[in-house]
């Protein structure tokens, strides 16, 4: 790695000077700003077929209603789960699974920038142009290291439990994942003929993009013309160079390509978590509802049971959106 300290024109004494470490950091921040203005690795919300893969929401619904005519013992017996009363045992709870493959990653196809870069003093105080590798080592790689460090950075995506968040833009008002569970308050122990799937939403999860921050005021660096004359970069020209270099690096520079993926369940993408964890939860127990229907004669009596979700809501799987460089 070759970190260079390129030159700027000091008007106070009419000389060329190397930028300081603090001034280099400001240019790194400017590179992040330019990436935030136009990310070259993008995530979008789609209705199905997302390239990041599938997340699954699980919940239980009630069993089907079981009905019996009772046993030979005279009179109406109360359900006690022993199997020796008038009631037949209901079936198991039924798992309902809903798949969410709602995020697609798009990597732009970009050409490697080929343009003049700043000048610097080498070890013998000769003026040289920075190579592309120099420029990447000095400004672009440090910027990408920050972009993927897990903090909210301009141009980087995250998951949130609401569709809006300060300093972020909403990619879509539609969810990328929804955690549902049985609404156990709707299941009555005295009713063995409940609608099987009575659900509630536990949490919604949305895809957001970090908005750009304040635009850093970086030094105007110098470059050399073919005839040997030195000139300052026009501010917009240098920023275009920064933008082109970081956008290209994020798509194609080995070990510095920005990529997103899921972790959790069957997903094992490494990197830093981005935003809220997406939790799939489900109730962990069941109760049996029983209903006795007294018709006109003992031979026509009907005994119904149904298993309902109950207990506590527990985590089935925790999914996370992650970002890394590769």
Instruction: Supply the angle between the helices 235-252 and 21-37 in degrees, to the nearest 10.
Output: 70
H or E, element range at 133:
helix 132-135
Given a contact cutoff of 8 angstroms between Cβ atoms, the answer to whether 244 and 136 are in contact is no
Q: Whole-angstrom Cα distance, residue 282 to residue 267?
A: 20
Q: Whole-angstrom Cα distance, residue 57 to residue 78?
A: 37
Tens place of pLDDT per residue across the chain (326 aa): 689 999 999 999 999 999 999 999 999 999 999 999 999 999 999 999 999 999 999 999 999 999 887 665 656 667 777 655 678 889 999 999 999 999 999 999 999 999 899 999 998 999 999 999 999 999 999 999 999 999 999 999 999 999 999 999 999 999 999 999 999 999 999 899 999 999 999 999 999 999 988 999 999 999 998 888 999 999 999 999 999 999 999 999 999 999 999 999 999 999 999 999 999 999 999 999 988 876 655 555 778 899 999 999 999 999 999 999 99
User: According to the model, what pLDDT value does residue 292 have?
Assistant: 83
Angle at alpha carbon of residue 68, lines to 66 and 72, rounded to 5°: 150
Structure tokens at 212: 């750009």
Give the residue from 268, 249, 246, 43 showing the smallest Cα distance to 158.
43
Q: Which residues contact 145 (CB under 8 A, 6 or more apart)?
A: 325
φ, ψ at 255 (rounded to 5°): 75, 0
User: According to the model, what pLDDT value does residue 68 have?
Assistant: 83
User: According to the model, what pLDDT value does residue 228 have?
Assistant: 82
Query: Residue 182, SS3?
Result: strand
Angle at alpha carbon of residue 154, lines to 238 and 179, rounded to 5°: 160
Instruction: Give pTM, 2 decimals.
Output: 0.92
User: According to the model, what pLDDT value does residue 188 have?
Assistant: 94
User: According to the model, what pLDDT value does residue 69 have?
Assistant: 78
């Amino acid at each position: 790695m070759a970190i260079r300290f390129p030159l700027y024109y000091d008007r106070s004494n009419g000389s060329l000077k190397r930028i300081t470490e603090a001034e280099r950091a400001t240019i790194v921040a400017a590179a992040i700003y330019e990436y935030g203005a136009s990310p070259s690795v993008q995530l979008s919300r789609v209705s199905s077929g997302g390239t990041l893969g599938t997340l699954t929401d699980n919940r239980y619904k009630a069993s089907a209603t079981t009905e019996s005519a009772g046993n030979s013992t005279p009179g109406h017996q109360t359900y006690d789960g022993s199997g020796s009363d008038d009631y037949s045992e209901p079936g198991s709870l039924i798992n309902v699974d809903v798949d969410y493959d709602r995020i697609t990653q798009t990597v732009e196809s970009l050409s490697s920038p080929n343009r003049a870069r700043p000048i610097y003093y080498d070890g013998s105080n000769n003026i040289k142009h920075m190579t592309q590798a120099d420029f990447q080592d000095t400004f672009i790689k440090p910027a990408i290291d920050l972009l993927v460090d897990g903090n909210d950075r301009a141009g980087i995506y995250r998951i949130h439990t609401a569709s809006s968040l300060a300093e972020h833009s909403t990619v879509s008002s539609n969810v990328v994942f929804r955690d549902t569970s049985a609404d156990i308050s709707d299941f009555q122990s005295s009713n063995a003929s409940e609608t099987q799937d009575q659900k509630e939403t536990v949490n919604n999860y949305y895809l957001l993009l970090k908005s750009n921050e304040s635009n850093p005021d970086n030094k105007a660096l110098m470059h050399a013309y073919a005839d040997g004359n030195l000139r300052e970069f026009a501010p917009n020209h240098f920023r275009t160079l920064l933008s082109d270099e970081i956008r290209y690096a994020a798509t194609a520079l080995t070990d510095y390509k920005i990529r997103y993926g899921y972790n959790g369940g069957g997903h094992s993408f490494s990197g830093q978590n981005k935003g809220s964890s997406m939790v799939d939860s489900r109730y962990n127990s069941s109760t049996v509802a029983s209903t006795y229907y007294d018709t006109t004669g003992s031979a026509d009596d009907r005994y119904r049971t149904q298993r309902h979700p109950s207990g506590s809501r527990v985590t089935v799987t925790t999914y996370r959106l992650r970002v890394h460089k590769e």
